[in-house]
Amino acid sequence: MRKLLSVLLMLCLLGSLLVPFAVAEDQEPITLTYFYGAPGDQPYPDNKIYKKIEEEFGITFEMEFLAGDLDEKLGMMCQDPDDLPDLFDGGNSADKILISSGVLINLLDYVNPEDTPNIWAHIEPQKNRIITKDEDTGEDVMYIIPNYGLGEGDQIVNSVNGPAFFIQKQVLAWAGYPQIKTLDEYFDLIEAFIAENPTNEDGTPYIGFDILTEDWRRFCMINPVQHLMGRPNDGEVLVDINSEDYATTTFINQPYAKPYYKKLNEEFQKGIISPDTFVMTYDQYIAQLSTGIVLGMFDQTWDFGDATNALLTDKKYANTYVALGLIYDEDDVPAEDMPEGWTIEEHYVNGSLPNLDRGAGISVSCKCPERIIAMWERMLDPDWALLLNWGVEGEDYSIEDGRLIMTTEQNANTQDIEWQRHNKAQAIWNSSPKRQGYIMEDIQVGDQVVTAGNCWEPGSQPEIVFGLMNDYDKEFLSAYGYSKFGDFVNPPIELAPYGEAWQIDKSPIEKDYNDFLNIQDTQLPQVIMAPEGEFDAKWDAFVEAINPSCEVYSNFMHEEILKLVAAYYGE
């Protein structure tokens, strides 16, 4: 496969020498085949953005959206390198199937500071993560330009999309809008609310705290300890970024994990946690949250979006959730149980992480990669970036005193699938390199100016974030003196050189890793549900059972993290 790739790349390079890099006015119209690795809807023939792409670049798309299993589909497509689509978006399987199969070209044969200044400027701040070494040849390679995570300016955190302890807004409102920072404060408040409000208006008892444990979503049960210790999401390990060698250990078997599960055991004995929580499927969990009876849980915002949408549809605004960045109180963990030199400071939101190996790659079958690269280069120009993000000025958004704004109706349109099929190049925009974050320089649009400080994405624009909220949320935030729900947590911490450790491939230690997970799946619920007086014994038995796989896993992760750090610094 590598030999085939080399031959095809040589042909592509020869072709690129014969064709001017920029899109010429007299270039023949072409149709590119494009596979999008997720379900989707075909754009309508009158789609105005795809029409503009055709007018400027002479490119139309023949799109195929995923139907069925992604890995199976990609595996079948890669078996015939002579019949590949021109563009691939392999989703979460791009690296393990498309890149490893050798069906994507090395974009560095076309991307460089001189010929593609927009693309190079886009990737340059994170190039040590994006550009890697080919294992066989040692050459620099980049098969996919990240489709998300390369924002400009300071990171925008209007809300917490990742992990947090969540609590219903009505609980905070009932208590007079307190600041809740620690685990004890959190559960004390839930207990107090239930004591005074045992049921909702329909007479259904409230559930204080849910713990989702089904399959890979076990992170709801496992991951909280690292956050209580003051670190953003590294998966199942705690990394001391202040130590010289990035000391790495599993946290689930450490003394500082015990206080969290002891607290859960106490809340279980009080009836705050329902025993049904450990046998719930994900669908049952979402259904329960959607009713508004669950007051709190640890999760990630994206994971329960369907429940949030259901509550909003029913206008149960008070039952939607706020993300809180809880940490241990200084009295929760004895000093001798803390890692050496460790201090706890809340850092739930990490620095922006490029969506590595996610986005569109160009296949070795494509006969005109230079035209795709030229299209991407042009789409990073301010006028095209505005068009792809905001739409057509005067139709989809307006400019007032230099600020980009949308009416309620215009913003609602952007969420409507049928509207998108007529008015957004959704699939291409999702997969292509794009401008995110803050607009750093003024942009001339017709006879108006979009001033620096606006946001490239409408969903990040402060006027839209606050202005289009429901009245309940506006009043709720105003009671705290906030303008966005991201104000409930600290600003992002600087991203570690290794990125986020949860992204590391664990397949080299698959058996030990599966043992590590299975012991948690089977024994942690028993620890949490332990009868009075039996918690310590069950905890000790759990730690003893999991220690061997923890040792293998910790050592493996430490080695991999050191490799990533070395690669980041070019060592």
- The model's pLDDT over 47-71, given as tens digits with 9 standing for 90+, comes to 999 999 999 999 999 999 999 999 9
- pLDDT, tens digit (0-9, with 9 covering 90-100), for 230-257: 999 999 999 999 999 999 999 999 999 9
212 Cβ contact list (under 8 Å, min separation 6): 218, 220, 221, 277, 280, 282, 285, 297, 299, 303
pLDDT for 330 = 84
Q: Identify the H or E element spanning 380.
A: none
- Percent composition of the chain: helix, strand, coil (DSSP 3-state, to 5): 45, 15, 40
Q: How far apart are the first and last CA of the chain?
A: 29
CA 441, chain centre distance (Å):
27
Question: Which of the 8 DSSP states describes residue 97?
Answer: I
3-state DSSP call for residue 93? helix
366 Cβ contact list (under 8 Å, min separation 6): 12, 32, 84, 86, 87, 105, 372
What is the average pLDDT across 131-141? 90
Q: What is the mean pLDDT of the chain?
A: 93
The pLDDT of residue 281 is above 70: yes
CA torsion sign for 296, 298, 301, 305 is negative
Query: Domains in the chain, please, with CATH?
Result: 2-148+357-389 (3.40.190.10), 163-348+474-568 (3.40.190.10)
The pLDDT of residue 14 is above 70: no
- pLDDT, tens digit (0-9, with 9 covering 90-100), for 293-336: 999 999 999 999 999 999 999 999 999 999 999 999 988 999 99
- ∠ at Cα 487 (463, 291), nearest 5°? 90
What is the average pLDDT across 437-454? 96
Amino acid symbol at 445: V
The pLDDT of residue 486 is above 50: yes
pLDDT for 20 = 36
Q: Are strands 59-65 and 30-36 parallel, antiparallel or unpaired?
A: parallel
3-state DSSP call for residue 376? helix
pLDDT for 22 = 43
